[in-house]
Chains A and B, each alone.
Chain A
Amino acid sequence: MEKAFLHAIQDNQKIIFKVCKIYRNSKEDQEDLFQEIVYQLWKSYPQFRAASKLSTWIYRIALNTAMAVYRKAAIPINYYPEIPGQHANPENIDTEKEAKLFYALRQLNDADKAIIALYLDDFSYQEIAAITGITGNHAGVRLNRIKNKLKQIIK
C-alpha cells in the first residue's frame, strides 16, 4: 500500500504544491502545509476508492486541509497597488508570470480559491460541486463572479 501511495502522490504532487502556494504566503508555511496534506492523504488513503479520479481525491483532501488547519495569524501584507513587475518578487516566486498568477489568486477568499483552483485544472462544474459540496449551478454562477473579480485584478 505504501508503495502505491507514494507512486500516486509523486505523480500528482503538482496539485499539492499549487494548493500550498495559493493558500500560504511564506515558503515555510507552504512547506508545513505540504507536509500536513501528505499526512492527511496517507491517513485517508485506505478509504480512497479507485472509482473516483485520483486527482479529485487529492484535491478534496488538499483543499480541505488547507482551509481547515489552523494557521498562525498572518503578518498583514500590503498588496502592491499594481500587478508585480519583473523586479517585484517578494517571495522568491520563480517567474514573473507566476508572481502575477498568485498575486491575483491570493486576493480571493479561501472558498473562491478552492473553486478557481479546480476550474483552472479543468474540472467540470459537476466535479467542482462534488468536491466543494455546493450545487453545480451554484458553482457555475460563482465561477463567473470569480472570473470577473480576477479580470478586474489583472487588468
Chain B
Amino acid sequence: MNELNELKDDWQKMTGSYKSGTELLKMTKINNHPTFKKLRLKLLIEVISISALLLVYYDAFDGDRKPLYANLLLVISMVLYIITGILGYRSMQNPVEGPDLKTSLRNNLSRVIGLSKYAMLFSLLYTVCLLIFFTSTIHFTKEKAFLLLGLIIILSQLLLWSYRIWRNRIKNLERQATDLESPENI
C-alpha cells in the first residue's frame, strides 16, 4: 500500500516544462497542428494531381478516341476519390464523439470502419476505372499484356498497403474499446 501511496504522491507532485499562453494559443489553430499538417499536405497533393489529371486527360490521353463509358467512369471515380479524401480528413479532426470514453471509442470505431469501407471501395474503383480507360482501345500484344500485368501488381500492392493502414487503425480502436469494456478486466 505504501508503494501505491508513494506513486500517488509522485503523480500529484509531478512537474514539467509547461507552456506559455502564447504557445497554448498557437495550439488552438488547426494550421499549426502537426498531425493534420501532414494529412493536409497529403490530401492537397492528391487533390491537385487528380484535378490536374481531370483537366488534361481528355487532350493528353486521347479522351475523344476512348468510349464514352470509359470517360464517364474515370471522371466519376476521380471525383468520388477526392470527396472521400476530403470527408476522411474532416472526420479525423473529431476523435472525441461522446459524453464518456466508452461511448466515444465505440462511436469513433463505427465511424472509422464506415470510412475505411468507402475509402477502400473508391480507391479500388478509381484504380479499375483508370485501367479501363487506358486499356479500352488498346490492341493487346504479348508485351502490352505483360506491361498491364505489372501495372496491376503495383496498383494491387498500393491498395493492399492502404488496406493494412486502415486495418491497423481499426484494430487499435477495437483493442481500446474492448480493454475498457471487457468483463475479463473486471
**What chain B residues lie within 8 Å of A121 (beta carbons)?**
11-12
- Which one of B76-84, B94-102, B129-137 is at the interface? B94-102
**B107-123 interface bits toward A, Cβ cutoff 8 Å, 1 = contact, 0 = none:** 01000000000000000
CB neighbours (8 Å) of B4 from chain A are: 147, 150-151
Q: Are A17 and B18 in contact (CB under 8 A)?
A: yes
Most chain A CB inside 10 Å of its own CB: which residue of B19, B92, B168, B169: B19
Which of B15, B30, B179, B181 meets A94, CB within 8 Å?
B15
Q: Is the CB of A38 within 8 A of B24?
A: yes
The listed residue with most A CB atoms (<10 A of its CB), out of B4, B94, B168, B175, is B4
List B residues 18-56 near A (Cβ within 8 Å): 18-19, 21, 24-25, 27-28, 30, 32-35
Q: Is residue B173 contacting chain A, with contact meaning CB distance below 8 A?
A: yes
Q: Among B34, B92, B95, B176, find the residue whose CB has the most chain A CB atoms closer than 10 A.
A: B95
B102/A150 in contact, CB under 8 A = no
Nearest-Cβ distance from residue A128 to partner chain B, whole angstroms: 10
Query: Contact: B101 with A40, CB < 8 Å?
Result: no
Report yes or no: A14 in contact with B14, Cβ–Cβ below 8 A.
yes
| B64 contacts partner chain A, Cβ-Cβ < 8 Å | no
Q: Distance (Å) between the CB of B100 and the closest chain A CB?
A: 3
For the complex, give the distance between the alpha carbons of A96 and B30 in Å.
36
Flag if A145 contacts B15 (CB, 8 Å). Answer: no
A36:B35 contact, CB within 8 angstroms: yes
Query: How many residues on chain B are close to A (CB under 8 Å)?
Result: 46
In contact, A98 and B96 (Cβ under 8 angstroms): no
Contacts of B35 in A (CB 8 A): 32, 36, 69
> How far in angstroms is the closest Cβ of chain B from A72?
10
Is B34 a contact of A120 with CB atoms below 8 Å? Answer: no
Q: How far is the CA of A123 from the CA of B73 in the complex (A)?
A: 57
Residues of A within 8 A of B169 (CB): 70
Cross-chain contact A36 with B101 (CB below 8 angstroms): no
Q: How many whole Å from A25's CB to the nearest CB in chain B? A: 15
Q: Are A14 and B10 in contact (CB under 8 A)?
A: no
Contact B25 A2 (CB under 8 A): yes
Q: Does B138 contact A (CB under 8 A)?
A: no
**B24 lies within 8 A of A120 (CB):** no
- Shortest beta-carbon distance, A47 to chain B, in Å? 10
- State whether the Cβ of A44 lies closer than 8 Å to any Cβ in chain B: yes
What's the minimum C-beta distance from A14 to chain B, rounded to whole angstroms?
7
**Chain A to chain B: the 7 pairs with minimum beta-carbon distance, closest first:** A133-B102, A133-B100, A111-B179, A68-B95, A38-B27, A42-B28, A111-B180
7 A-B contacts (beta carbon < 8 Å): A31-B34, A68-B108, A101-B11, A111-B176, A133-B98, A134-B102, A151-B3
